[in-house]
Chains A and B, each alone.
Chain A
Amino acid sequence: MQIRNRAFLLLGLLGVATAGLTGCKKSGDAADADTIVIGEVAALTGGTATFGQSSHAGTQMAIDEVNAAGGVLGKKIKLVTEDDQSKQGEAGIVAKKLVSREKVVALLGEVASGRSLEMAPIAQKAGIPMISPASTNPKVTETGDSIFRVCFIDPFQGTVMAKFALARGWKKVAVMTDVTQDYSVGLSQYFKEYFTKNGGTIVGEQSYASGDKDFKAQLTSIKEGAPDAILASGYYNEVGLMSTQAKELGIQAPLLGGDGWDSPSLVQVAGKSIEGSFFSNHFSNEDTAPRIQEFVTKYKAKHGTIPDAMAALGYDSAMILVDAIKRAGTTEGKALRDAIAATKDFEGITGKITLDAKRDANKPAVVLTIKDGKFVYVETVAP
């Protein structure tokens, strides 16, 4: 009796498995005929999941809008999204899978620079273009001529925060760097370069790793230097905890950071301790321009939350790709690459986007502060 039951179970499982397999194959065949397949790598789970989820929501919204308007080149677009679990190493694996198995015509993603750096050589080798929505480390687009980004880069972002600190009269700044993130390392480096060249002093330099929760040792050491501000160039997870621990140790200096702070999770964890700190970002949802407010309303209707910068950048990266497909009239790798490279004065949500010779977008940054638990616009800094 038991053996028979097991045999039935096994048969059933086999049936389900084959059904699943053939199902997959069918959709793949259909994709060749009347759809354009675009691959997306996003951190939907794991340490920086709020970034991945936002950028994916923005990207998906753009694709849905294009499809609702009849698609492009007479075809519908199919977005295939792979989750890399916010893991170093996983982004490359899923990018390979998208290229070889799904035969995507272009790759979108990642938001984190370290993970984009894994995807870039794969796209370059496969001869398909890749557009990163939010990777700000310069090395990302230096990988090859098929790699693009729709955001500003760290040298600019670091300089913006250094300028901002100097303008406030802060001459002594301590630096906390997440050494496991290329993004954080780059941001700290460019901040230091500009800051020290223009009369500032770095009074303490400490490092940590993503996933760390205890920063008391570093902060105790930083406190000795009595800094006017502390550059925390990493991502929101650690910055939130760092902020509470700094206040516990009696450090009153504000924290400074980059776009890696832009997550509601930051304020939830840091609470009052993060009030009065500053970070640079790609866009402010308080911007009154009608184009931006229209985007905010549409996004809110769909997801129930106000879009953050990652959502806007995800939207822009997809729209630029669609625009290029339209102009190229084909999805063939080389022609599509050239069309993206020729992007000029594209009216994106995060600003007017022109891709320069290095395939980077030169765009202004906004500086935001945290007030009553909300991100409040302070100023715009042009490159």
Chain B
Amino acid sequence: MDQFVQQLLNGLFLGAIYALIALGYTMVYGVLRFINFAHGDVFMLGAFGGLYVHKALEPLLNSLPWPLALAVVMLASMAICAALGIAIEYFAYRPLRNRPRLNVLITAIGVSLFIEYTGQLVFGATQQPFPALIPRQNISGLGGLTVTMTQVIVVVVTTALLVGLRYIVMRTRLGLAMRALSLNPTAAALMGVNTSVVISFTFGLGSALAAAGGILYASLYPSVDPFMGIQPGIKAFVAAVLGGIGNIPGAALGGMIIGVVETLVTGYSQKLGIPSGYKEGVAFVILILILLFKPSGLLGKVEREKV
């Protein structure tokens, strides 16, 4: 029983990270109807941003209490990645704005490869250790269960960002503009919405979320390399589709489900009689089933095509 609860916890904490990355995918899709495959690589840049900001400011950060130091590193890296996200949109996607969506999708894959291999040139190919921004200690008083400080922070930050994002989209003027754009770009432009500003803002916001995810991920698994974004990127994409792409709570739910299922399949592989290497297969089988029986995703709304 203890083991089951522990596995459930492991899964939820892993899922929180997937959820955080999935938020970025889902938001860009919600506004622009295209999947930014370079999102996982911005996530990687976020982790490296954190690493280099930490290196540059080490003496200052050491004198601060760790939650403040973490906030400084995280905000700095989020700002860097927001700027990068806006730049990527400006240089790679904007020229293709009125072209078929497939063109943009292919460009996104190109951007992804470009970031990965430039990353290898700039950061080096070998993995680098990530500094302990969050003290590596266990939370005591949970009986036989282990929960680390990092895991708690991951969940707290993910929840805070989720709530903040929901607020921006639902309660601010820019959020209103984002929703208008997603409903009908032409009509929104005619009503005086500055499309370019809104799209830049969406990319900046999505990339900042990816950066936060990158730093939390690197704190959980303290080694960073230029290819670290690929696997979580794909998982988060699956999570976003599972929850209903374009839907913010859906992305969070999808992330949690993927995290828990993966962990349970791995943990009980011996008893279930399936090799634990099949965990990714199981995640994708769930995706296929959902797409077969509820193609819009768990929380997604069915969109009727107008004739």
In the complex, are the beta carbons of A269 and B127 less than 8 A apart? yes
- Interface-side segment among B49-57, B178-186, B267-275: B267-275
Contact partners of A248 in chain B: CB under 8 A: 136, 138, 146, 148
B36 within 8 A of A: no
For the A-B complex with A212-B231, A265-B129, A268-B128 known, give 18 more contacts whose Cβ atoms are closer than 8 Å.
A47-B227, A49-B125, A50-B126, A179-B275, A209-B277, A209-B280, A213-B228, A214-B10, A214-B220, A217-B10, A217-B267, A220-B7, A221-B269, A244-B222, A248-B136, A248-B138, A249-B146, A269-B222
Contact partners of B223 in chain A: CB under 8 A: 213, 237, 240-241, 265, 269
Closest to A212 in B: B231
Task: Give Cα A221–Cα B6 distance, bound, in whole angstroms.
Answer: 10
Contact partners of A211 in chain B: CB under 8 A: 227, 230-231
A46 within 8 A of B: yes
Task: Give Cα A265–Cα B124 distance, bound, in whole angstroms.
Answer: 13
B300 within 8 A of A: no
Task: Give Cα A217–Cα B10 distance, bound, in whole angstroms.
Answer: 7
In the complex, are the beta carbons of A204 and B127 less than 8 A apart? no
Contact partners of A223 in chain B: CB under 8 A: 3
A74 within 8 A of B: no
Given A204-B270, A237-B127: A221 and B263 interface contact (C-beta under 8 Å) = no
In the complex, are the beta carbons of B6 and A220 less than 8 A apart? yes
Task: Give Cα A268–Cα B223 distance, bound, in whole angstroms.
Answer: 9
Cβ-neighbour of B125 out of A46, A218, A244 (below 8 A): A46
A297 within 8 A of B: no
Q: Identify 7 residue pairs between A and B in the complex whose beta-carbon atoms are under 8 Å apart, listed by A's number.
A: A209-B277, A220-B7, A237-B223, A265-B126, A265-B127, A269-B127, A271-B129
Contact partners of A209 in chain B: CB under 8 A: 277, 280
In the complex, are the beta carbons of A220 and B269 less than 8 A apart? no
B174 to A: closest C-beta gap in Å: 35
B120 within 8 A of A: yes
B14 within 8 A of A: yes
Which of the four size classes fits the interface of chain A?
35 or more
Task: Give Cα A309–Cα B6 distance, bound, in whole angstroms.
Answer: 39
Task: Give Cα A240–Cα B48 distance, bound, in whole angstroms.
Answer: 19
B66 within 8 A of A: no
B159 within 8 A of A: no
B77 within 8 A of A: no
Contact partners of A220 in chain B: CB under 8 A: 3, 6-7, 10, 267
Given A204-B270, A217-B7, A218-B267: A46 and B227 interface contact (C-beta under 8 Å) = yes
A201 within 8 A of B: no
In the complex, are the beta carbons of B3 and A179 less than 8 A apart? no
In the complex, are the beta carbons of A205 and B125 less than 8 A apart? no
Contact partners of A47 in chain B: CB under 8 A: 225, 227
Closest to A176 in B: B276
Task: Give Cα A248–Cα B221 distance, bound, in whole angstroms.
Answer: 12
Contact partners of B247 in chain A: CB under 8 A: none
Interface size for B (C-beta < 8 A) is 39
In the complex, are the beta carbons of B120 and A45 less than 8 A apart? yes
Given A208-B276, A250-B146, A268-B129: A213 and B267 interface contact (C-beta under 8 Å) = no
Contact partners of A221 in chain B: CB under 8 A: 3, 7, 266-270
B11 within 8 A of A: yes
Task: Give Cα A179–Cα B263 distance, bound, in whole angstroms.
Answer: 17
Task: Give Cα A271–Cα B130 distance, bound, in whole angstroms.
Answer: 11
A93 to B: closest C-beta gap in Å: 17
In the complex, are the beta carbons of B3 and A206 less than 8 A apart? no
Contact with A along B78-115 (1 / 0, CB 8 A): 00000000000000000000000000000000000000
Closest to B263 in A: A217
Contact with A along B244-263 (1 / 0, CB 8 A): 00000000000000000011
Given A206-B270, A220-B267, A221-B268: A213 and B221 interface contact (C-beta under 8 Å) = yes
Contact partners of B228 in chain A: CB under 8 A: 213
Within 8 A of B (CB), among A186-216: 204-209, 211-214, 216
Task: Give Cα A209–Cα B283 distance, bound, in whole angstroms.
Answer: 15
A44 within 8 A of B: yes
In the complex, are the beta carbons of B125 and A44 less than 8 A apart? yes
Task: Give Cα A49–Cα B227 distance, bound, in whole angstroms.
Answer: 13
A224 within 8 A of B: yes
Task: Give Cα A271–Cα B136 distance, bound, in whole angstroms.
Answer: 11
Contact with B along A229-242 (1 / 0, CB 8 A): 00000000100110
Given A211-B231, A248-B146, A249-B146: A218 and B276 interface contact (C-beta under 8 Å) = yes
Closest to B276 in A: A207
Closest to B265 in A: A217
Contact partners of B222 in chain A: CB under 8 A: 241, 244, 269
Within 8 A of A (CB), among B133-150: 136, 138, 146, 148
Contact partners of B11 in chain A: CB under 8 A: 217
In the complex, are the beta carbons of B269 and A206 less than 8 A apart? yes
Task: Give Cα A179–Cα B7 distance, bound, in whole angstroms.
Answer: 22
Closest to A273 in B: B136
Q: Which of B138, B217, B279 has the most CB of A within 10 A?
A: B279
Task: Give Cα A50–Cα B126 distance, bound, in whole angstroms.
Answer: 7
Closest to A179 in B: B277
A223 to B: closest C-beta gap in Å: 8
A204 to B: closest C-beta gap in Å: 7
Given A207-B276, A221-B267, A237-B223: A214 and B14 interface contact (C-beta under 8 Å) = yes
Contact with B along A26-58 (1 / 0, CB 8 A): 000000000000000000111101100100000
Closest to A83 in B: B125
Closest to A268 in B: B129
Task: Give Cα A212–Cα B276 distance, bound, in whole angstroms.
Answer: 12
Closest to A211 in B: B231
Closest to B262 in A: A217
A37 to B: closest C-beta gap in Å: 26
Contact partners of B10 in chain A: CB under 8 A: 214, 216-217, 220
Task: Give Cα A377–Cα B220 distance, bound, in whole angstroms.
Answer: 32
Within 8 A of A (CB), among B275-293: 275-277, 279-280
